[in-house]
Amino acid sequence: MGEFVDAALAFPAVLFTFLLVVVVGYWILVLLGALDIEALDFGGDGDALGGLGFAGVPVALTASLLIAIAWFVSLAGTVLVGGVLLLAILALIVALAVAWFATRLLIRPLRRLFPTGPEASRSDFVGSVCVIRTGRVSQDFGQAEVTAKDGSSAIIQVRQTGADSFKSGTTALIYDYDADGEFFWVTPVPQPEPHG
């Protein structure tokens, strides 16, 4: 155990040992619920390290992987070079390069778990065409089915201001969302006149 501690506190591993202690402490606080995984996302966009090829994954996760891999490689380098300063500097450079490449490879599949872009909102349905699912739509009653951009469908509450006739299966255009009442305003979709 003493040799391990000596290697962890020798150059170049010592540069990453203290960073690794911070990373472990951070993840313990995340697991205990004291911190959020997004706590280290400078600027709030999650892509603070995007210029290095790490965009699309929270900074905390990217930094943790970088530090852990760099620490492990530099620890192995520290043991192999045996205190020769020039070789220790070379081990540091190799550790940084390996950490950068390995982290880029590891976060590539993780990007799917952290979707980018604005969060979905009910107002995203405004401007969409929906299909009426109730026998009528009035100023205080009605439901319709609408398809989102991702292909999923939702049953929504719809209302109208006029006396238009809506039957089940007819299409309507969503033109506004009432956040207080949590319903959408609809109007009939003009049907093309038959050619004859």
Non-local CB neighbours of 28 within 8 Å, separated by 6+ positions: none
Residue 134 phi/psi, 5-degree rounding, is -105, 165
- pLDDT exceeds cutoff 60 at 36: yes
* Cα(28)–Cα(23) distance, integer angstroms: 9
Per-residue pLDDT, 133:
94
Per-residue pLDDT, 18:
93
Q: Which whole-number Å values give the CA distances from 5 to 123, 147, 166, in the listed order? A: 57, 59, 76
pLDDT in tens, 109-155: 888 777 666 666 778 899 899 999 999 999 999 999 998 887 888 89
What average pLDDT does this structure show over 32-36? 81
* Cα(91)–Cα(85) distance, integer angstroms: 10
Per-residue pLDDT, 121:
74
Three-state SS for 152? Answer: coil
Per-residue pLDDT, 109:
87
Work out the pLDDT band at 184, boundaries 50, 70, 90. Answer: very high
Domains and CATH numbers, the chain: 2-113 (no CATH), 122-188 (2.40.50.140)
pLDDT in tens, 48-103: 455 566 777 888 888 899 999 999 999 999 899 887 889 999 999 999 999 999 99
